[in-house]
Amino acid sequence: METPSVKPSCWQVVYTYSQYEKKVQKEFQRKGIESFLPLQKKIRQWSDRKRKVEVPLFPNYIFVRVAIKNLWKVLKVNGIVKFISSEGRPVTVSNATVDSIRKLINHDVEVTNELFTEGDIVRVIRGPLSETEGVLVEKKGKSRLAIQISIMKQSVLVDIAPCDLEKVGRLEQAV
């Protein structure tokens, strides 16, 4: 039997086959692999009904936290394609980033913000996403804060009250 090791401090991200996220998450739980699959509730429309379902916030991605020597155990799980990596090593995500995502999916914040302009880099100064930074974008006439998870090249959009934001800077325009 393996002796318990020090708990890894950072998370890694795995890429799954399409629509395998929940199956992989269940298998991780069964095998005792620490993982996090952020889910969001969405209303889906079928021809005869509407239903609220939980779907992955980041389709095809799951966060895992394992010691480097145990990465192979993750890759053995059916439905895993690969680790998200850079220069041959799994990219790590901080606990703070994962905690921010947990806060995001556990709280429903929704207020239109007209005080900032598209491209402003902003920081949340109070509320469940406090200290989280993102880029303000426009969508359907509402200002939204996009919290960017750059290693996955995806963003999460959240409506935020103007009084809960401060401007940090501006995105540099491409020349």
CATH number at residue 110: 2.30.30.30
How far apart, in whole angstroms, are the C-alpha atoms of residue 60 and residue 51? 22
Enumerate residues 6+ apart whose C-beta is below 8 A from 79: 16, 17, 20, 23, 24, 27
Same domain, 126 and 75: no
Same domain, 125 and 162: yes
pLDDT for 63 equals 96
pLDDT digits (tens, 9 = 90+) for 72-85: 999 999 999 999 99
Same domain, 158 and 130: yes
Last-in-domain residue among 42, 67, 93: 93
Same domain, 75 and 136: no
Q: Which of 9-18, 21-30, 127-136, 143-152 has the highest mean pLDDT?
A: 21-30
pLDDT of residue 66 exceeding 70, the answer is: yes
How many structural domains are present in the chain?
A: 2
pLDDT for 112 equals 33
Residue 3 falls inside a structural domain: no
Q: Residue 61: which domain range? A: 11-93
Band of pLDDT at residue 113, cut at 50, 70 and 90: very low
User: Percentage of the chain with pLDDT > 90?
Assistant: 29
How far apart, in whole angstroms, are the C-alpha atoms of residue 98 and residue 86? 19
Last-in-domain residue among 65, 93, 121: 93
**pTM reported for the whole predicted model:** 0.62
By CB atoms closer than 10 A (0-12, 13-18, 19+), residue 39 is middle
How far apart, in whole angstroms, are the C-alpha atoms of residue 83 and residue 62? 10
How far apart, in whole angstroms, are the C-alpha atoms of residue 103 and residue 96? 10
Same domain, 72 and 129: no
How far apart, in whole angstroms, are the C-alpha atoms of residue 152 and residue 164? 26
Same domain, 44 and 88: yes
Same domain, 80 and 112: no
pLDDT for 161 equals 66
How far apart, in whole angstroms, are the C-alpha atoms of residue 19 and residue 55? 9
Residue 98 falls inside a structural domain: no
pLDDT of residue 136 exceeding 70, the answer is: yes
Last-in-domain residue among 64, 93, 122: 93
Residue 101 falls inside a structural domain: no
Higher per-residue pLDDT: 4 or 67: 67
